[in-house]
Copies of this chain bind each other. A is one copy, B any other.
Amino acid sequence: MIPIISIVGKSNSGKTTLIEKIVPELMRRGYRVTTVKHDFHGFEIDKEGKDSWRHKRAGAHGVIISSPQKVALIRDVDRDMSLEELRDSFGGDADLILSEGFKSDVQPKVEVFRKEEHGELLCTKEDNLVAIASNRPFDIGIPCLDIDDVKGIVDLIESKFLKGGRREDIALSINGKRISLSPFVKRFLMRSIKGMVSCLKGAENPKRIEIKID
C-alpha cells in the first residue's frame, strides 16, 4: 500500500513551508507525491458560474472535471475520512501520501517545531512520531533534524518508507465498507487473486491490482 506520512506541528510552525520544500526534493528523486490537507470548515473550490459549479449546485453528489493534463473531483461525504480511507479512495498511482496535519490519525508523523513560535512539542512518541524537524535540538529518543535540512528529512522519509520495496497489502471494501482482515486471510486473498489474474494477457507481472465488481 502507498505509505502515508503526516507533517504535523502547532499552528504557525511551518508545516506548509516544509511540505513545499520536501515535495520538490522527493520529485527530484523520482517519487510521485499526493498531499492531503484537512479543511475543518468545508471549502469552496470550483469557480462560481462554471458548468461544473452549476452541476454541483444543482445537487450532483460528485463532479469530475477532466482535461488532458489533470482531473479534479469534488464529492460529497457524510463524515471525516481517515488518511487510510483517503488513500484507498483517492491515492491512485502515488508513491507517497504526505498529509499536512491529521495529528489524531494513526499514521506516522514528522513534527515541525520552531522555538520562536512554541515552547513544547505537539506530539509524543505515543502519537507515532518518527522524527522532528526543528531549529532547536530535542532528546526524546527519536531523530531530530534541522528544520532547514531538507535533504536529511527526505533521506529519512526515503529510507524509512520508500526504500526496500513497498510492503504488499490488500484492501477489501464490500458495499463501500472496509472489511478488516487477519494476516492469514490477507495472504490467502492476495495469493489467490494474484494467481488467478497472472495468467491473463497483459497481467503477467501483477504488482498493483485493482478489482471492482459492481
Residue ranges of A at the interface with B (Cβ–Cβ < 8 Å): 1-2, 16, 19-21, 23-24, 27, 32-47, 51-52, 54-77, 79-81, 86, 88-94, 98, 100, 166, 168-177, 179-181, 185, 189-190, 192-194, 196-197, 200-203, 205-214
Secondary structure dominating the interface of A: mixed
- Nearest opposing residue in chain B for A23, CB measure: B58
Count copies of this chain in the complex.
2
Q: In the complex the two chains form, what is the Cα distance from A37 to B49 in whole Å?
A: 14
Q: In the complex the two chains form, what is the Cα distance from A4 to B198 in whole Å?
A: 30
Q: Is the CB of B210 within 8 A of A62?
A: no
Q: In the complex the two chains form, what is the Cα distance from A56 to B20 in whole Å?
A: 9
What residues on B are CB-neighbors of A62 within 8 Å?
A: 32-35, 90-92, 94
Q: How far is the CB of A7 from chain B (nearest CB, A)?
A: 10
Q: How far is the CB of A89 from chain B (nearest CB, A)?
A: 7
Q: How far is the CB of A80 from chain B (nearest CB, A)?
A: 5
Q: Is the CB of A52 within 8 A of B35?
A: yes
Q: Is the CB of B51 within 8 A of A34?
A: no
- Nearest opposing residue in chain B for A27, CB measure: B59
Q: List 25 A-B contacts (CB under 8 A).
A: A1-B214, A24-B58, A35-B64, A38-B66, A40-B67, A43-B65, A44-B47, A45-B65, A66-B81, A67-B80, A68-B77, A70-B76, A72-B72, A72-B73, A88-B212, A169-B213, A172-B203, A172-B209, A173-B211, A174-B208, A179-B200, A190-B213, A193-B211, A206-B213, A210-B212
